[in-house]
């Protein structure tokens, strides 16, 4: 755990003092050095603390903070005793330490610290219980950049060292984040990932500050978001999700506003006046001449709901109580230190999400990032899907301009940070220019972005980034959105639940208390109910977050369950994965409602052949005229992420920024419906992609002269459960008897313990020893916890103490109950079987017989 470093620091400090042999200051240097160096090990670049520096003409600092590259290798001619820091200043500044009794802010204002600052640029002043970072201020003079106080007084500090674990649990996470920033702060700020890392640290600090806040304004805002999105934040996870979402929105809003401010502020000088005028017209009370001020962010964000949301979150009246003003001031100061020319030279606008969404979330709230399953869709996948949609619009639906045709309305129902929408706009721009683009291209592009290329997103944080990315993309394409219109022009991305609201409400909708929320909901409803959507594409979410409960989605996947039991005999099925709801939504809007169009999703590949999806496949075959399936494999369970030749087969989502990827295999499905009438049976084309080059191979396949020749034809039919995977099955095979025809008893599942296999073991003797102890009435509960812990825990329908008491009073231990159990083919184990419930979850007497 992160707080272990802080716990160890407090333990070290306490032990040194309790030795009663220490001096007031220098005895504590080793504890501080150890703490800072261990934190620095996990930074990039790594940072190391070195105590006692040589005199470089400004005095003797107590320590220095050096980055990894300063530990240069010695050459053959160098003396082995040479100090490797002799000719280098510590790149992260120096340390001035004083005894815990000292006032750290008084020390920070001394001439000695000023001399260090002039020589080294950054000084971390500490009395071991509080820290003050002194650096250059806006006027060019030294000032306090950031501070952190662990204990207000010396006596309070020593009390904390007496209980280091409790102190670390309360203060450790914030202290750790502060010290991380100190070690990074003097790093050159020009690379986007470095800026994202520091902002994520500030956001992390902000999240910790509001976790326990209980303000009425937060409750009101929570209710408004629930009403606008048609969901509920439930339980502790829902509360954590809500507060984490607010902080993400706040910081993404600040970052987005800074990007817009910086790009316009650094534009040609004759445009600066226009920028200032635009800010004033938007209602900004002032315009900062010298630098960026986070308080101007609402006036730079063009989406009314986003402005309202940001104002509510960033209202100083609320922030003062939440303790966030200080953190946001630090954030603005950091952004003002960025070398903007270098930043925007390396800031590929198309990949802003790589730095400011997925990695940001990992650093800011890794637990939430894992549960949400946030995955950046690689550019190759996005481009392939968009190019294929454009191609089939031309070849299958007779639209010569593809996505550029003004009649083509596009929707990404789970648009995240807007990656697919940006790619669609780029494809439209290419087509328009290829046709001999003129001055109207920019107007056509802007009109498309506002009126027929739509995105829905349910999470405010990626919604912010989506608007930033689309705004930047349109600027790059020469079609910038205007801030001076009333209301400001905006891209067609809406904060809404994509799975609800497609039918007009039967009753008047509830008024939402915050301005802009009603308008956002109504605008999204207009798209859902009025726009003739022809294309639905994207990367639907794989899982629903446990803390968010959407309102009833009108039995969206019920048609995929109809007949599973009665016709197919499937009693257990998994149709609750979120992505299948988006397939049903797309089928409903394109095939049933519109009668014509295209669907392109990359998703879990389970629908290709899993029995649970047999009805879904059946419906796709009835509703669509042509289906192309690109199986991207990369599944951890089915293939172990290996190719048929045994070579690595990573997830297609495994990138430089996210090497792990995802565990499930994926597939790109492209489904086309030409019109209401059907001329022939649906053609299903299928192909595999394997290995580490699959994304490049996928893109390269677009250049094939005969594109369809790259596929096999699948033959979905009833005997193969309408599988979309090709198979080589002779006609005679269907005449063979089924296993059901050969059975003597009805099929049954095996015995089931649901006790983490406490009663099943490959080793007979080990199982015997464990179960014998469980039956020993003299064995204490504490003893059982060390021998067979799985059976001393409570589970659903299993009270551990009552279950054991019932077993001991009902039957004795019997050797004949140690029996072989066949888990899987060629997986034979031993079990202890008893019919006394609820030791086994299901006793399956027929199976045992």
pLDDT 10s digits, 716-739:
998 889 999 998 877 787 788 877
Per-residue pLDDT averaged across 85-104, rounded?
82
N-terminal to C-terminal alpha carbon distance within the chain: 50
Of residues 139 and 273, more confidence is placed in 139
The tokens of 830 are what? 């031993």
Lowest mean pLDDT among 110-119, 647-656, 729-738, 747-756: 747-756
**pTM (2 d.p.):** 0.76
How far apart, in whole angstroms, are the C-alpha atoms of residue 213 and residue 243?
10
Residue 393 is predicted with a pLDDT of 98
Using one digit for the tens of pLDDT, what is the confidence trace for 355-388?
666 667 777 777 776 666 566 788 999 999 999 9
Lowest mean pLDDT among 361-375, 484-498, 809-823: 361-375
Only one residue has tokens 């000088």, namely 269
Per-residue pLDDT averaged across 639-663, rounded?
83
Using one digit for the tens of pLDDT, what is the confidence trace for 559-592?
999 999 999 988 777 787 889 999 999 999 999 9
How far apart, in whole angstroms, are the C-alpha atoms of residue 634 and residue 626?
25
Count of H-run helices and E-run strands, the chain:
31, 20
Lowest mean pLDDT among 52-66, 255-269, 496-510: 255-269
Q: How many residues does the chain have?
A: 849
Largest Cα separation within the chain, whole Å, is 95
**What is the signed CA dihedral for 140, 141, 142, 147, rounded to 10 degrees?**
-70
Per-residue pLDDT averaged across 813-817, rounded?
90
Judged by DSSP in three states, 291 sits in coil
What single-letter DSSP state applies at residue 588? I
Contact 601, 537 (CB under 8 A): yes
- On average, the pLDDT of the chain sits at 85
Per-residue pLDDT averaged across 222-249, rounded?
81
Contact 813, 828 (CB under 8 A): no
Residue 350 is predicted with a pLDDT of 55
Residue 541 is predicted with a pLDDT of 84
Residue 68: pLDDT band (50, 70, 90) is: confident
The conformational region for residue 608 under phi > 0 = left, psi -120 to 50 = alpha, else beta, is alpha
Burial class of residue 713, CB neighbours in 10 A (0-12, 13-18, 19+): exposed
Per residue, the 3-state secondary structure of 54-75, as one string, reads CCCCCCCCCEEEEEHHHCCCCC
Of residues 241 and 62, more confidence is placed in 62
What single-letter DSSP state applies at residue 401? T
Residue 555: pLDDT band (50, 70, 90) is: confident
Q: What percent of the chain has pLDDT over 70?
A: 88
Residue 88 is predicted with a pLDDT of 62
User: 91-115: string of b/e by CB count within 10 Å (b at 16+)?
Assistant: bbbbbbbbebebebeebbeeeebbe
Using one digit for the tens of pLDDT, what is the confidence trace for 241-275?
888 888 888 888 888 889 888 887 766 443 444 55
How far apart, in whole angstroms, are the C-alpha atoms of residue 194 and residue 342?
12
pLDDT of 238 over the 50 cut: yes
CB atoms within 10 A of CB 188: 11
pLDDT of 75 over the 50 cut: no
Of residues 413 and 92, more confidence is placed in 413
Residue 289 is predicted with a pLDDT of 57
Integer-rounded Cα radius of gyration of the chain:
32
pLDDT of 283 over the 80 cut: no
How far apart, in whole angstroms, are the C-alpha atoms of residue 323 and residue 302?
27
Angle at 240 between CA 237 and CA 242, to 5 degrees: 110
Lowest mean pLDDT among 4-13, 290-299, 444-453, 596-605: 290-299
Residue 527 is predicted with a pLDDT of 96
Residue 431: pLDDT band (50, 70, 90) is: very high
Q: HSE (CB half, 13 Å, CA atoms) of 144? A: 15
pLDDT of 497 over the 80 cut: yes
Residue 86: pLDDT band (50, 70, 90) is: very low
Residue 2 is predicted with a pLDDT of 47
Lowest mean pLDDT among 69-73, 333-337, 700-704: 69-73
How far apart, in whole angstroms, are the C-alpha atoms of residue 723 and residue 244?
42
């Amino acid at each position: 755990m992160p707080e272990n470093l802080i716990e160890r620091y407090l333990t070290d400090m306490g032990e040194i003092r309790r030795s009663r042999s220490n001096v007031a200051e220098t005895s504590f240097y080793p504890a501080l050095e150890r703490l800072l160096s261990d934190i620095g090990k996990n930074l990039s670049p790594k940072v190391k603390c070195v105590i006692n520096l040589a005199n470089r003409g400004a005095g003797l600092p107590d320590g220095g903070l050096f980055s990894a590259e300063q530990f240069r290798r010695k050459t053959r001619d160098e003396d082995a005793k040479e100090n490797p820091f002799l000719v280098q200043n510590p790149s992260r500044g120096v340390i001035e330490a004083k005894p815990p009794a000292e006032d750290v802010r008084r020390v920070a204002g001394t001439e000695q610290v000023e001399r260090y600052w002039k020589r080294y640029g950054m000084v971390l002043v500490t009395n071991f219980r509080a820290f003050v970072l002194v650096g250059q201020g806006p006027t060019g003079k030294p000032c306090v950049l950031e501070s952190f106080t662990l204990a207000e007084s010396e006596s309070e500090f020593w009390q904390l060292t007496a209980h280091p674990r409790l102190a670390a649990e309360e203060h450790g996470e914030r202290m750790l984040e502060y010290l991380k920033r100190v070690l990074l702060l003097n790093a050159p700020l020009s690379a986007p990932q470095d800026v994202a890392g520091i902002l994520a640290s500030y956001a992390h600090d902000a999240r910790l500050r509001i976790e326990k806040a209980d303000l009425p304004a937060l409750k009101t805002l929570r209710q408004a978001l629930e009403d606008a999105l048609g969901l509920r934040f439930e339980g502790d996870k829902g509360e954590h999700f809500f507060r984490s979402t607010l902080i993400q929105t706040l910081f993404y809003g600040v970052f987005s506003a800074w990007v817009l401010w910086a790009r316009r502020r650094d534009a040609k000088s004759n445009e600066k006046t226009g920028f200032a005028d635009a800010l004033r017209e938007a209602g900004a009370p002032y315009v900062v001449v010298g630098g960026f001020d986070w308080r101007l962010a609402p006036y730079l964000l063009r989406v009314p709901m986003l402005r309202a949301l940001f104002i509510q979150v960033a209202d100083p009246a609320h922030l003062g109580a939440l303790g966030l003003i200080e953190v946001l001031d630090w954030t603005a100061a950091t952004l003002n230190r960025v070398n903007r020319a270098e930043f925007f030279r390396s800031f590929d606008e198309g990949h802003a999400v790589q730095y400011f969404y997925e990695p940001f979330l990992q650093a800011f709230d890794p637990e939430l990032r894992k549960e949400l399953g946030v995955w950046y869709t690689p550019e190759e996948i996005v481009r392939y899907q968009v190019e294929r949609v454009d191609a089939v619009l031309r070849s299958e639906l007779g639209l010569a301009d593809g996505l550029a045709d003004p009649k083509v309305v596009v929707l990404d129902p789970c648009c995240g940070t807007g990656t697919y929408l940006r790619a669609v706009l780029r494809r439209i721009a290419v087509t328009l220019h290829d046709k001999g683009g003129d001055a109207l291209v920019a107007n056509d592009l802007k009109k498309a972005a506002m009126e027929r290329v739509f995105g829905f997103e349910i999470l405010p944080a990626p919604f912010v980034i989506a608007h930033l990315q689309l705004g930047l993309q349109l600027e790059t394409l020469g079609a910038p959105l205007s801030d001076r219109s009333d209301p400001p022009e905006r891209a067609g991305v809406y904060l809404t639940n994509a799975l609800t609201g497609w039918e007009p409400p039967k009753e008047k909708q509830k008024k939402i208390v915050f301005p802009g929320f009603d308008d956002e909901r109504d605008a999204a409803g207009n798209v859902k109910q009025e726009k003739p959507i022809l294309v639905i594409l994207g990367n639907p979410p794989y899982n629903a977050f446990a803390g968010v409960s959407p309102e009833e989605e009108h039995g969206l996947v019920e048609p995929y369950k109809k007949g599973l039991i009665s016709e197919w005999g499937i009693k257990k099925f998994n149709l609750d994965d979120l992505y299948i709801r988006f397939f049903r939504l797309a089928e409903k809007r394109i095939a049933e409602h519109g009668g014509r169009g295209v669907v392109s999703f990359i998703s879990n590949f389970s629908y290709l052949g899993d029995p649970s999806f047999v009805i879904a496949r059946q419906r796709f075959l009835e509703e669509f005229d042509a289906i192309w399936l690109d199986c991207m494999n990369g599944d951890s369970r089915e293939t172990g992420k290996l190719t048929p030749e045994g070579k690595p087969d990573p997830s297609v989502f495994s990138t430089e920024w996210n090497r792990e990827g995802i565990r499930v295999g994926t597939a790109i499905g492209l489904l086309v419906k030409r019109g209401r009438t059907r001329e022939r049976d649906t053609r299903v084309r299928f192909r595999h992609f394997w290995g580490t080059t699959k994304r490049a191979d996928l893109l390269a396949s677009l250049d094939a002269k005969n594109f369809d020749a790259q596929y096999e034809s699948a033959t979905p039919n009833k005997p193969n459960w309408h599988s979309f995977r090709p198979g080589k099955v002779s006609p005679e095979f269907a005449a063979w008897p089924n296993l059901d025809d050969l059975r003597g008893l009805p099929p049954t599942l095996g015995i089931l313990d649901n006790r983490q296999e406490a009663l099943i073991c490959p080793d007979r003797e080990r199982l015997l020893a464990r179960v014998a102890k469980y039956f020993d009435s003299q064995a204490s509960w504490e003893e059982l916890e060390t021998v067979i812990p799985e059976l001393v825990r409570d589970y659903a329908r299993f009270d551990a103490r009552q279950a054991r008491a019932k077993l001991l009073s009902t039957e004795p231990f019997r050797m004949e109950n140690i029996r072989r159990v066949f888990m899987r083919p060629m997986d034979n184990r031993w079990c202890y079987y008893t019919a006394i419930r609820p030791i086994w979850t299901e006793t399956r007497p027929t199976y045992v017989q």
